């Protein structure tokens, strides 16, 4: 399985258009890498690809990665998308791709709740009608299931894991099962277990078990501390209010996962996150715990 990081930032990217914080200024000045909004592309043959979340930056992400570009006058090597939640930075790319995919359309997959929230919005509703299909994945069940036998040429199997989190702000931030999911992706021989969990507000038993089983886990790296938005004067909200468990701190992800075997890669980094500065104490702490920070263009083979 080939895993390509298309984007590694939380909503807004780095730099964010209306932000002049230290991280955004460093990215504008070329002292730090620019980051588009988070998404992965995965493939088993480099010919057909599945997007894990579909960010509003998807057109630029396709132009930055030749294997995702069309090979005919019209067409796309992108088969479909798996969506973790209905936040606009994770589904907004669908509106960008409204000219259509292959003749057969895209296969979009999400929880039933995410499907209902997203398709209530006029920009996303067309993806639930032909030529597209919007399939509902049940947490705990393995896909492909009946009627869904074409997951990247039937070469991958996917387990959906409901994780603690909320619906998006535009839906009232309701805490409801299925509002946010993670995906555990294996090749059909049962190997190469990738976990994609870019959003969670806590690590419960189900998510913890999936992290234990993973070879590589992409994890929510949005915020390093619960109060960093308040401290920087950016927004009067805490990380946990926004549905994100912070990376640092006594009850943060690094401490909770100490000793886990999986390769841990933080993604979905907000521009407020001090981990983005390689000279910061938080960056050093991440590296000391042998975790990694994703970057646009990062590629792994599992």
Residues that bind Zn ion (CB under 5 A): 10-11, 19, 21, 24, 87, 89, 271
Q: How far apart are CA 209 and CA 184, in angstroms?
A: 11
Residue 232 or 260 having the CB closest to Zn ion: 232
Residue 77 or 243 having the CB closest to Zn ion: 243
Residue 160 or 222 having the CB closest to Zn ion: 222
Give every CB contact of residue 130 below 8 A, 6+ residues apart in sequence. 105
Handedness of CA 137, 143, 149, 154 (dihedral sign): positive
Q: How far apart are CA 298 and CA 260, in angstroms?
A: 22
Residue 229 C-alpha from the chain's centroid: 21
Residue 25 or 290 having the CB closest to Zn ion: 25
Tokens 């555990």 correspond to what residue?
Answer: 184
What residues pair up with 159 in beta bridges, in sequence order? Answer: 142, 184
Q: Strand pairing of 133-136 and 142-143?
A: unpaired
Residue 43 or 53 having the CB closest to Zn ion: 53
Q: Least Å distance between CB 284 and Zn ion? A: 21
Q: Least Å distance between CB 42 and Zn ion? A: 19
Q: Least Å distance between CB 43 and Zn ion? A: 23
Q: Least Å distance between CB 118 and Zn ion? A: 14
Residue 189 or 279 having the CB closest to Zn ion: 279
Q: Least Å distance between CB 268 and Zn ion? A: 6
Give every CB contact of residue 241 below 8 A, 6+ residues apart in sequence. none
What Rg, from alpha-carbon coordinates, does the chain have? 18
Residue 79 or 220 having the CB closest to Zn ion: 220
Q: How far is CA 122 from CA 22, 50, 88, 128, 178, in A?
A: 37, 24, 13, 11, 21
Q: Least Å distance between CB 101 and Zn ion? A: 23
Q: Least Å distance between CB 135 and Zn ion? A: 22
Residues 224/273, Cβ–Cβ less than 8 Å = yes
Where does the chain have alpha helices with state H?
22-28, 58-63, 88-91, 93-96, 112-119, 205-213, 228-231, 253-256, 281-288
């Amino acid at each position: 399985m080939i895993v390509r990081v298309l984007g590694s930032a939380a909503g807004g990217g780095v730099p964010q258009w209306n932000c002049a914080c230290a991280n955004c200024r460093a990215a504008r000045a070329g002292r730090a890498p620019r980051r588009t909004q988070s998404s992965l592309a995965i493939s088993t043959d480099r010919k057909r690809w599945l997007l894990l979340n579909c960010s509003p930056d998807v057109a630029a992400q396709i132009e930055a990665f030749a294997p995702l570009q069309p090979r005919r006058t019209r067409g796309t090597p992108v088969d479909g998308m798996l969506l973790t939640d209905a936040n606009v930075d994770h589904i907004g790319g669908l509106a960008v791709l409204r000219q259509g995919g292959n003749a057969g359309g895209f296969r979009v997959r999400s929880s039933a709740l995410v499907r209902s929230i997203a398709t209530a919005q006029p920009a996303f509703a067309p993806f639930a009608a032909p030529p597209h299909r919007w399939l509902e994945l049940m947490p705990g069940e393995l896909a492909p299931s009946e009627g869904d036998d074409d997951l990247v040429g039937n070469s991958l199997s996917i387990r959906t894991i409901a994780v603690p989190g909320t619906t998006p702000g535009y839906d009232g931030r309701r805490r409801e099962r299925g509002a946010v999911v993670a995906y555990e992706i294996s090749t059909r021989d049962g190997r190469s277990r990738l976990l994609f969990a870019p959003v969670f507000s806590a690590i419960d038993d189900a998510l913890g078990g999936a992290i234990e089983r993973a070879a590589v886990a992409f994890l929510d790296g949005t915020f390093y501390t619960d109060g960093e938005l308040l401290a920087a004067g950016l927004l009067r909200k805490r990380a946990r209010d926004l549905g994100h468990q912070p990376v640092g701190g006594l009850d943060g992800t690094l401490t909770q996962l100490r000793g886990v075997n999986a390769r841990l890669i933080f993604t979905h980094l907000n521009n407020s996150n001090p981990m983005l500065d390689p000279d910061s104490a938080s960056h050093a702490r991440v590296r000391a715990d042998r975790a990694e920070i994703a970057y646009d263009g990062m590629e792994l083979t599992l």
